[in-house]
Amino acid sequence: MIFLFTANSRGTITGRADIVPNKKGVKHLKVKTLKINLNVGGSPNLQIENRDERNAAVANTATNFILQNRRQVIQIVTPIAEDTLSEVARQYADDILSTMPYSEILPD
């Protein structure tokens, strides 16, 4: 099954980083925390495409349940999505910032 979710959403990102030296003594930012908060607004739309006809009954049941209980499903899934997105974004941000000297990001 393929899920396509669309909604009028907003989010906030907050984080904390420390200035740390690398092995060569060059200072860079180390991301300690990064938190993404999502606010799913409007009327969320979910499209589910089933490409495996062997599972058609299960797919149709799941689709109907999700569509009939959109808000409840979003309330359950949102914290999981926020935690996952936060950790992935923290890792990417940390990897990117570890390659840039702090002096290039915020020069004196």
The CATH number of the domain where 76 resides is what?
3.15.10.30
- Banded model confidence at residue 106, pLDDT cuts 50, 70, 90: confident
Structure-model confidence comparison of residues 5 and 101, the more confident one: 101
Q: Are 17 and 90 in contact (CB under 8 A)?
A: no
- How many folded domains does the chain comprise? 1
CA 52 to chain centre: 28
Other CB atoms within a 10 A radius of the CB of residue 15 amount to 15
Q: Are 89 and 12 in contact (CB under 8 A)?
A: no
Give the range of the structural domain holding residue 67, as residue numbers without chain letter: 2-105
Give mean pLDDT, residues 60-74: 86
What pTM, to 2 d.p., does this model score?
A: 0.77
User: Which residue type does 93 have?
Assistant: A
- Banded model confidence at residue 1, pLDDT cuts 50, 70, 90: low
